[in-house]
Chains A and B, each alone.
Chain A
Amino acid sequence: MMEETKTIWSLLEAVNDPEVPVLSVIDLGIIRKVRMEDGRPEIVLTPTYSGCPAMDVIRMNIRMVLGQHGYPAVKLTTVLSPAWTTDWMSEKGKEKLRAYGIAPPLPVQTVCHLDLFQREEAIACPHCHSYHTTLISEFGSTACKALYRCEDCHEPFDYFKCH
């Protein structure tokens, strides 16, 4: 039983986030629990954002990967509480993000409050590592990212924003 859930966890390493394909669902921290029920795996997952369009694709990909490895019937349960946070992203995942050109979320969150026109977080450019960067918009190409520009290498880049 324990062995089997371990196998499922390792199979899930192969299921990637369609929007950020270098991250697995494990790296993202959206898999909350895996358990076996009458030989059928149940996977408990949580969305990053309420409207994240990747969730449907992720659910389908989990079914496909497990189906290919002898688990034709999988129960997928969505939980909303406790709400997903970027703190649940694995260290390995953060490294993969940086290598992919997306600045990973900061370990200490500083902008999840209501103050207006806040001093921007110091985000390192994933390309040249300069901290001389400027926020362009808190809403980027997907709900989970903000848009920045590096003032040294002049490249725009995504920042996986605190949540």
Chain B
Amino acid sequence: MTVQHTIDYTLHLADNALVLGHRNSEWTGHGPILEQDIALSNIALDLIGQARYLYQYAARLMTMQGGPEVTEDVLAYLRDSWDYRNCLLVEQANGDWGKTVLRQFFFSAYQYFFYRELQHSRDAELSAIAEKALKEVTYHLRWSSEWVIRLGDGTEESHARMEKALDQLWMYTGELFQPAGFEQALAPGGIAVDLGEIKPLWELRVGEVLKEATLTTPGSMMQQGGKQGKHTEHLGYLLAEMQFLQRAYPGNEW
């Protein structure tokens, strides 16, 4: 277990939050109705806020390692897709509202049980970020669960769209519980969350909500690679847009 493992772990968590926060923000101004546009924008803001605290922590650890000063902006805006350690699920394209809320639901259910454990991490900074974020994620999970049920158990059209979304996204849920090298290295020290422990909790919650939504999970082969920097084609396009300003006008500030 080294500081580098903690840095990789923190970046992985930050990348998850930033990439999904960015995806959600693509809906701002385009939501189906004003109140839900605001809801998803609020969730985006929470996720980007969590990402900032995580990047700031990673930047402090990296700066302490020596070398040039690292900032949260450098980590968000100047790393390429192979440096990003987010799970494949969060980078998937928004699709329709159903796919967006299903992606949010899978991720919020994961983040809820994840942060609940990370609160007890022996890394004081990660534990404080988790304690703070857990309250926010409780709202996200409730909101997205209700939407999955409303659409799955809704009209013929909404049910069909949720089935399609499930077909497109289910294959990316397995990776959430596949520990990467840095997670295995940190687990014995009580810093990282034991993913094997939260997996059954996630399955139980997801199973209950999908049942209520009259949806059944497909038996897809699970995809992975995001935690190792091997991403689907979607991430490159996302970064191209998100990082444009800093790439074109380096060091520019508000």
Q: Footprint of B on A, CB under 8 Å?
A: 47, 49-53, 79-84, 112-117, 136-141, 143, 147, 163
Pair A80/B142 contact, Cβ less than 8 Å: no
B99 surroundings in chain A (CB, below 8 A): none
Least Cβ–Cβ distance between A56 and chain B, in angstroms: 10
Pair A114/B136 contact, Cβ less than 8 Å: no
Least Cβ–Cβ distance between A79 and chain B, in angstroms: 7
Q: A111 — nearest CB in chain B belongs to which residue?
A: B142
- Give 1 or 0 for each of B16-46: 1 = CB within 8 Å of chain A CB: 0000000000000000000110110011011
Tell me if B50 counts as interface (CB < 8 A to partner A). yes
A53 surroundings in chain B (CB, below 8 A): 45
B163 surroundings in chain A (CB, below 8 A): none
Task: Name 15 A/B residue pairs within 8 A (Cβ), A-sorted.
Answer: A49-B45, A49-B49, A49-B136, A51-B50, A53-B45, A83-B128, A114-B138, A116-B146, A116-B149, A116-B212, A117-B146, A137-B36, A137-B38, A137-B39, A139-B39
Pair B35/A137 contact, Cβ less than 8 Å: yes
Give the size category of B's interface with A. 35 or more
B138 surroundings in chain A (CB, below 8 A): 112-114
Known contacts A80-B128, A116-B149; is-contact A139 B142 (Cβ 8 Å):
no
A51 surroundings in chain B (CB, below 8 A): 45-50, 52
Most chain A CB neighbours (cut-off 10 Å) among B135, B138, B146: B135
A52 surroundings in chain B (CB, below 8 A): 49
A141 surroundings in chain B (CB, below 8 A): 38
Q: How far is the CA of A143 from the CA of B38 in the complex (A)?
A: 9
Q: How far is the CA of A80 from the CA of B124 in the complex (A)?
A: 10
Pick from B36, B132, B145, B146: contact of A50, CB below 8 A: B132
Q: How far is the CA of A147 from the CA of B37 in the complex (A)?
A: 13
Tell me if B131 counts as interface (CB < 8 A to partner A). yes
Q: B45 — nearest CB in chain A belongs to which residue?
A: A51
Most chain B CB neighbours (cut-off 10 Å) among A81, A82, A141, A147: A81
Given contacts A50-B50, A116-B212, 15 further A-B contacts (CB under 8 A): A49-B45, A49-B46, A50-B53, A51-B46, A81-B128, A83-B134, A112-B135, A114-B138, A114-B141, A115-B142, A136-B35, A137-B39, A138-B139, A138-B142, A138-B143
Tell me if B228 counts as interface (CB < 8 A to partner A). no
Tell me if B133 counts as interface (CB < 8 A to partner A). yes
Q: How far is the CA of A80 from the CA of B85 in the complex (A)?
A: 24
- The A-contacting residues of B in range 138-155, CB under 8 angstroms, are 138-139, 141-143, 145-146, 149
Most chain B CB neighbours (cut-off 10 Å) among A136, A137, A140, A163: A137
Least Cβ–Cβ distance between A121 and chain B, in angstroms: 14
Q: How far is the CA of A51 from the CA of B131 in the complex (A)?
A: 14
Tell me if B129 counts as interface (CB < 8 A to partner A). yes
